[in-house]
Structures are given as structure tokens and as C-alpha cells.
Amino acid sequence: MEFFKLKKDIPFMRYGKVTTAISLLTFVFAVWALATEGLNLGVDFTGGTVMEVAYTQPAQLDKIRATLEHTGLPEVSVQTFGTTRDVLIRLPLKGNTTSSKTSDTVMAALKAQDPAVELKRVDFVGPQVGKELYDNGALALVVVAIGILIYLALRFEWRFALAAIIANVHDVVIILGCFAFFQWEFTLTVLAGVLAVLGYSVNESVVVFDRIRENLRKMRKTSIPDIIDSAITTTMSRTIITHAMTQMMVLSMLFLGGEALHNFALALTIGIMFGIYSSVLVASPILLMLGVKREHFIKDNKPKEGVASDGAQV
């Protein structure tokens, strides 16, 4: 399916060095933000108290949040959970305050606002558990990256694998850098979004790389930059349609999904935008710099004896 068909290839590789330099600058900025600001880790990673309360009427989150802020509790996270009457409250660790004392303080404040509020459960995430979740999350990112590297190396060759993994790491670091710079809360749902972006980005890279490999075999007299330009241009319509539809769904979660899905959708939004950019203007120029050649995919350029190059008998 194509909404439009370009008659002339767009010379992306002509600007490959420029786009690579821009990518390098944004990557360095993201690393700087991570190094200086650090991630604003949520209760899932730092430890704290998680409470679920129920109301008889749809909960007014703004009033609940304002009530809890007046108690002096730090960085309270309030969101609906399941239905509009169920509310999930997350509170980070505060000094030597116990989970029981924290929950009593919260319930006293909420009952003063609405006596009908009911406590359904209280969970305490210790700092050790939070650290284990953080370590396991980092391990998951590394395992996924290695799996992608092996998959692409087997499907194509090491140059394609290296180019794709650099582009994917670029996307992940940009997402983490944005969360560090703006100090958005980084939770397990955000980590799930980052892992989803890894898979999403590699899918786009595979589509472009498949067309490059095909062109390397078919366009025998064409230069490598022109082959890559042709591959990107011919997949452009598919790229626009796919990313536009995906972005529409993610934006609906971002603006209509409430606080529970906000940061998850935010991570996906950043990842999709940079995923388009990196698969076209990061992975492909790096592939060109690594010196991909058609000989890597054409083992024998000479026609067999008794057979012409077009397959006809001689």
C-alpha cells in the first residue's frame, strides 16, 4: 500500500555526515543529562509505600493530591487504578517513617476529606527489592540489545547488526536522557516502554536493511550510497503510514490515558520519533561508514558455464 510514489530517490546519504553529527550531539547531551541529573526513580525502584483506596463516587485526583501534599508527604503519586473510583497512591521512603505510620497519616487526611473512603490494601516496597528491580531492569535492556545484535548478525551480517544496535542504543539513551533532564518519574511502566521501543526500532531497521540487501543484488552498477538512498526512498511510504498510525495510538494514550499511562506513552512517543530518525539517518550512514559491499551478499558474480548472465542457455 502506498499513498504516494516518489519518482526520484531522495539523496539521504549526501547528508549522512551532517545527520550523524547531529545524532552524536544529541547522544552526548543525553549522556550528560544522565550523568549530572540522573533518573528520577519511582517507588518501584527506590522503595516506598503503595496504597489502594476506594471511593463510592468517581475520585477527584486533583483534590486528593492537594490533600496529601498538605500533610507534608514528599512526591506523592496519585492515579486511578482499574476504575474511576479506585485510586493508587505511591509514596517514597521518608527517613525512618514506617509503612504503617505513613498509611495511617494518608488515611486520616483522606477521611477528613471524604469519610466514605475505604482502604483496600497497603504494600511496602523495601529498598532492597527496589534495587533488585533496578538491576533486573538494566539486565533486561542488555539482554534485549544482545539478542537484537545476534539476530541481525545472523539475518544479515555483522555490519548491519552493528549499525542497527548503535541506532537502537541511540534511541534508548535519548529517552533516558529526556527523562533525566526533565526529571520525569522513571517507573517500571516506563522501562516497559523503553523495551518496546527497542523492538519497534529494530523492526524499522530490518525493513530498510532488507531493501538494501535486495538492491545490492539487483543494482549491480549502482554506487552503494545510491543503493541505500533507493532503499530508504522506496520504503518511505510504508514508514510514514506505519509510524503515523502507531503515533496516533500512542498520543491517544498520552492525552487520554490518564496519569497511569502518561509516562509510558511519553517514553513511546519520544522513542517512535527518534526511531524513525535513527533507522533512516543514523543506521544507514553508519552502515555506509562501515564499508558494506555487494560482494558480501553476492558470492559468485560470474555466470555458470553454458548459461548467460540473464539465465538463458548459450
Contact predicate 254/177, CB 8 Å = no
pLDDT of 197 higher than 50: yes
Q: What does the DSSP assignment read for 210-261?
A: HHHHHHHHH-TTS-HHHHHHHHHHHTHHHHHHHHHHHHHHHHHHHHHS-HHH
Q: What percent of the chain has pLDDT over 70?
A: 88
Residue 267, CB-side half-sphere exposure with 13 Å CA sphere: 27
Q: Across the strands, what pairs with 86?
A: 54
pLDDT of 268 higher than 90: yes
pLDDT of 68 higher than 60: yes
Direct distance between the N- and C-terminal alpha carbons of the chain, in angstroms, rounded to an integer: 40
The three grid cell numbers given for residue 113, joined into one nine-digit string: 476529606
For residue 285, give Cα distances in angstroms to 53, 81, 106, 163, 279.
53, 45, 55, 8, 10
Domains of the chain: 12-40+130-296 (1.20.1640.10), 48-125 (3.30.70.3400)
Residue ranges in the chain assigned as alpha helix (H): 16-36, 43-46, 61-69, 99-113, 127-155, 158-182, 188-218, 224-234, 236-256, 259-281, 283-289
d(CA 157, CA 161): 6
d(CA 114, CA 303): 84
Q: Give per-residue pLDDT as tens, 88-116.
A: 888 887 666 666 788 888 899 999 988 88
**Which pLDDT band, with edges at 50, 70 and 90, does 296 fall under?**
low
What pLDDT sits at residue 297? 62
